[in-house]
A and B are shown apart, each in its own frame.
Chain A
Amino acid sequence: MPDLIIDDSTGSDRLFNVYVNGELKGRGHDPSQVRRAMFDSPSGLQLIPRSEWSARIKQKSTLKAQISDRLRRDGIPSLDQGPVGYCWAHSTTGAVQAQRALAGQPYVPLSAYAIAATIKHGADEGGWCGLSAQFAREKGIPAQSLWPQGDRNYRKYDKPEVWENAALHKTTEEWVDLTSPVYDQQLTFDQVATCLLVNIPCALDFNWWSHSVMGCDLVEVEPGDFGIRIRNSWGDQYGDHGFAVLRGSRCRPDSALAIRVSVAS
């Protein structure tokens, strides 16, 4: 495992460069600013013991108190990434929409394309949920009414009113490992499980799937066997209104973060 070399010479803009074996691999927030911005290190998350998972899942299921229950009740549809490889922006955007629903904010369909097309300059390229989450905390996510889903024309929508609107949907608190580069921001399975048990939606990257999805609920597939109910970004035709359950090794994310708070608007 190569050592990370952190260079904070660019600290004036609150970012530092991350080098792996001398090669620039990414940028992250200056840890001294992290606490102030309330993007808490996952190590501060108090885990819910596994011995309590089963009872808590049953109770939440009885009360219909799961994230998926809220999304269904509010009639919030799955996002649809279409044929473009922008799943990594849809997982974060879906989590922000879910967090807003849980907070009781009005439903505003948000444009994941605004994030991905801006970062990739319209190119059809993959990424990580950490990259889109960074964008959501710095600029926010505009409404689809201002930047339609499916449109990668980043020059057309790069307007002040779009970014003013995006700022209304900025994330302000997360569980995220900002000491790691955006492609490697990880939560352990138990951290993800704890977040889902307390209704903090997650964005999850899976290397086996080459895909990124939103994590909604912890589920007990069989006694003692826990999985994750995810919501995909392939429209409501996929699975059950976009929901599916990952289990076994398939539900261990390779990178993950949790969206706790976004601007109330």
Chain B
Amino acid sequence: MDINIKLSVPTLGSISPDTKRTIRDRGVGAAAAIILCLLLGLAGRYQERQSPTPKPPGPGPTPTGEFRAVFVYESAALSTLKPDQLDALHSMKIRDYLDTHCAKGADGKTPERRFWDQNQDVSKDSAQLAKLFSRPRKSLPWFIIARGSSVVFEGPVVDEASTLATLQKHGG
């Protein structure tokens, strides 16, 4: 890039030659400083293009694979659960949401969502659901959501509203 700066020192007719020299020297110094600043600025901009300033961290790409969900409970302890938890396990709203959003199973029509007792024999059912079922659980009832092969959520079943919101967040 061409930088063309014309240095112009005003005519100094009525001052002494020493003063003239001093002023001329200062002018040259100032011009040099300006040129240096310009060069540094350009270098900075070049540097900026080479390595952009890092953006603040944000959420990673959302998994978009097939949507599956497994709910796990203990059938012998259902009557000890809070009504809100039972509502979530049996809510028609949640079932309807899962029915319309989950991937279809091997028969091409059964949605890949299950509500299983923790001791359920799942060896004859969907391998993907069995894999979700085999994950460790911290409490019961518990639910696991997967997109494709990624588990995107696992946590306790609290009530219908929060369970549905979590499903919608990950299921679209």
Contacts and interface: CB of A to CB of B under 8 A. Distances in A.
A198 B141 CA distance: 13
Contact of A106 (B76, B87, B105): B105
B152 to A, nearest CB: 19
Interface in B81-102: 81, 83, 86-87, 89-93, 95-96, 98
Given A64-B92, A70-B95, A194-B79, A105 B114 contact: yes
| Interface size range on A against B | 35 or more
B117 interface: yes
Nearest to B76: A40
Contacts, number: 96
Nearest to A102: B115
Nearest to A260: B75
Interface in A169-203: 172-173, 175, 194, 197-200
Contacts of B38: none
Q: Max chain B CB contacts within 10 Å: which of A45, A47, A264?
A: A264
Contact of A168 (B114, B115, B120, B124): B124
Given A63-B90, A173-B119, A198-B86, A44 B124 contact: no
B115 A103 contact: yes
B92 A63 contact: yes
A105 B76 contact: no
A59 interface: yes
Contacts of A71: none
Contacts of B96: 73
Nearest to B129: A264
Contacts of A261: 75, 117, 119-120
Contacts of A45: 76, 79
B147 interface: no
B48 interface: no
Given A45-B79, A70-B95, A104-B113, A264 B119 contact: no
Given A48-B79, A56-B83, A63-B160, 16 more contacts: A45-B76, A46-B80, A47-B79, A63-B87, A63-B93, A66-B90, A73-B92, A104-B114, A104-B115, A106-B105, A172-B120, A173-B75, A173-B119, A194-B79, A200-B75, A264-B116
Interface of B: 75-81, 83, 86-87, 89-93, 95-96, 98, 105, 107, 109-111, 113-117, 119-122, 124-125, 160
